[in-house]
Structure 1
């Protein structure tokens, strides 16, 4: 490879590439490499361009041993932290003509791997707690409480509650998996979202009454048609209303309000907005950016006591995304919370 051809060959490559000759000077580097290191290094010694010790060692060994070397390179770019897999490969028949250094961006792959590891850790933690409780009660019933009818009844009640909690967790995990699998497939069934809102309110009114909460709805009288999945949108509304009843019960009321706009800013066209408003304790808005993460809770202990799995809002987010909608959360400590779903109108 001649010096005249080298820049032309690497210029079109979509990832950072450097050519270093046998004198340890940069023969050529493409625009991606120039942007990555913030310097045009042609003609300069590679040490003054790369600077990072791990990269320098990688190139030095490839030049000296005439063997390919690999290293990971972490850097902070303007908008993100990036991870590169760097390979320095010898050039020429005998490997003595220099090295080519190729940077492959593996940031997304690393992030997905971390997400999977976090997910497994979270699921294991969520299942371990009720399983530990069940095992403890089983051992007690098999031993000291074998003939204690009162203790047996009390323990069986708790075991039933923990088993139901695990069942809810598994059900939500399966639901989340199905929603994520279908997220890129837009639903095409035409349905009346107002009817779904009314049905969800009616379904959950007995729970609201038992909790001492007044559950009302506004604006869901006339039909409003959207393209959607009836089961999934029902799941969204019931999830948000049930959360309002559970966590906003101290306010004594939950309002489900639906409004239609001919020009909704979220879509630059007609849309419908469904607000679920409670007057409960609310929470610090600092939590809002993370509320739709899987297993994230404002109050972990309280959420588990109420049977929450930490997956409900993550499911809501993915369903709303599938419907090309928007999901917004607002809250003020001591004044309540508002969960809003925006959907484009057909």
Structure 2
């Protein structure tokens, strides 16, 4: 038992004893008074003395307690009935949200809470931990705890079945004399995923900026050297340099858009937007691109009002990205259909706006990842179309801020349909 626990129990015992002494002091006082009364009266009869003492003692026993004595007794009773005295280790373990396993000196499981049962399957008592966790880092952690290492010990552990989870595991002794130890698991999977995404994002952004910068630097060196007096080469190189600077400008604009969206993910826009009018404006603004790519844009709008709550500029950006992608990557189909209808697909009234092309389509294995930053189905085609790889990621963030969602349906050789679902106003 720890020193703190010993002191707590000593104080509790002292309080209880004080309460009992306070209650019984009437008995002691009565006995003393009886002896004095008999002595001063000068009675020589032992029976009279004994009777007097007995009478006063009985009076003390039935005498009402003073308020102070009653409060002292009640406090002592409350200490004895403390909820912590009745709280078991199993109840404490069940209250912990993270997986927790208690084991003994032999390394056998004594108890596993519900979170541990969900994370690692059924864990039976008396099962050796060294057989459950065969990873070298876990073996070393358990053996170090059993050997009596100084303080808590920690290790990183990866559980790969049924899916990969990363835990920070800590092992420590419960208390001296109990012979029990604890394995506490803290799930680090989400933090690791975010760190990996951040590292990938920085690497991809650096690569996307480095490529045009290297191209521009090479052409500048050429223009200052061998092509100094070559007018035709100069015009050609300057055009390429202009295209590369435009590519960097688009990339920076998209990065800034993502940054602004991520700074206010929980701030819901409260404006009123006519989605039909917004989509019509997008179609009109991209008419030159549709003409250049040989794509005809058809409309299939349903009846009724198509009003939603949101930010018009952000929703304009959503449909601009979707329609621009349809014209660029689906131009082989020669046609794009923009449709809008009311739906109850999500259980609540919503507006479904779909941009469908008739191009080559997207392979099924790529669909879950197309909204990731810098993810491209075909890298060469994307760069040829001056894509930054951030358009669909921006779409996903904007729709999330508007309580909406994006669904994608595609079949190879038949085209792709991107559907925006927004709550109806």
Return the alpha-carbon distance in structure 2 between the equivalents of residues 237 and 319 of structure 1: 11
Q: Secondary structure at the match of 2:186?
A: strand
Tell whether 2:367 aligns with 1:284. no
Return the alpha-carbon distance in structure 2 between the equivalents of residues 193 and 341 of structure 1: 11
Tell whether 2:155 aligns with 1:71. yes
Tell whether 2:316 aligns with 1:237. no
Please, which of 228, 232, 238 is the counterpart of residue 146 of structure 1?
228
Return the alpha-carbon distance in structure 2 between the equivalents of residues 295 and 119 of structure 1: 8
Q: Secondary structure at the match of 1:269?
A: coil
Measured against aligned partners, the alpha-carbon deviations of 1:186-214 in whole angstroms (never above 9, x if no partner) come to 22112211110111111111221233222
Return the alpha-carbon distance in structure 1 between the equivalents of residues 109 and 311 of structure 2: 57
Distance 1:104 1:168, change over 3 A: same
Return the alpha-carbon distance in structure 2 between the equivalents of residues 257 and 228 of structure 1: 20
Structure 2 partner of 1:208: 290
Structure 2 partner of 1:295: 374
Structure 2 partner of 1:345: 424
Return the alpha-carbon distance in structure 2 between the equivalents of residues 286 and 89 of structure 1: 45
Distance 1:142 1:323, change over 3 A: same
Return the alpha-carbon distance in structure 2 between the equivalents of residues 270 and 11 of structure 1: 41
Structure 2 partner of 1:167: 249
Larger CA Rg, structure 1 vs 2: 2
CA contact (8 A) 2:107 2:142 kept: no
Q: CA RMSD in A?
A: 2.4
Question: Gaps (5+ residues) in structure 1?
Answer: none
TM-score (structure 2 length as normaliser): 0.74
Tell whether 2:410 aligns with 1:331. yes
Tell whether 2:182 aligns with 1:100. yes
Deviation at 1:156, TM superposition (A): 0.9
Return the alpha-carbon distance in structure 2 between the equivalents of residues 218 and 74 of structure 1: 51
CA contact (8 A) 1:240 1:276 kept: yes
CA contact (8 A) 1:34 1:41 kept: no
CA contact (8 A) 1:194 1:220 kept: no
Q: Secondary structure at the match of 1:9?
A: helix
Return the alpha-carbon distance in structure 2 between the equivalents of residues 281 and 8 of structure 1: 59
Return the alpha-carbon distance in structure 2 between the equivalents of residues 81 and 180 of structure 1: 27
Choose 290-299 or 332-341, whichever is displaced more. Answer: 332-341
Choose 322-331 or 40-49, whichever is displaced more. Answer: 40-49
Measured against aligned partners, the alpha-carbon deviations of 1:288-307 in whole angstroms (never above 9, x if no partner) come to 11111111111111111111
Please, which of 380, 386, 391 is the counterpart of residue 312 of structure 1?
391
Return the alpha-carbon distance in structure 1 between the equivalents of residues 133 and 363 of structure 2: 44
User: What is the 5 A alignment of 1:54-65?
Assistant: 54-65=137-148
CA contact (8 A) 1:320 1:327 kept: yes
Tell whether 2:125 aligns with 1:42. yes
Return the alpha-carbon distance in structure 2 between the equivalents of residues 6 and 119 of structure 1: 45
Please, which of 219, 242, 246 is the counterpart of residue 301 of structure 2?
219
Tell whether 2:253 aligns with 1:178. no
More strand per residue: 1
Deviation at 1:164, TM superposition (A): 0.6
Return the alpha-carbon distance in structure 2 between the equivalents of residues 36 and 272 of structure 1: 39
Distance 1:301 1:51, change over 3 A: closer
Q: Secondary structure at the match of 1:339?
A: strand
Deviation at 1:48, TM superposition (A): 4.0
Deviation at 1:311, TM superposition (A): 0.7
Deviation at 1:137, TM superposition (A): 1.0
Structure 1 partner of 2:271: 189
Return the alpha-carbon distance in structure 2 between the equivalents of residues 328 and 126 of structure 1: 27
Deviation at 1:15, TM superposition (A): 1.4
Distance 1:287 1:48, change over 3 A: closer
CA contact (8 A) 2:93 2:113 kept: yes
Deviation at 1:220, TM superposition (A): 7.0
Q: Secondary structure at the match of 2:147?
A: helix
Q: Secondary structure at the match of 1:167?
A: helix
Deviation at 1:168, TM superposition (A): 0.4
Distance 1:11 1:190, change over 3 A: same
Structure 2 partner of 1:271: 350
CA contact (8 A) 1:195 1:223 kept: no
Please, which of 248, 254, 259 is the counterpart of residue 336 of structure 2?
254
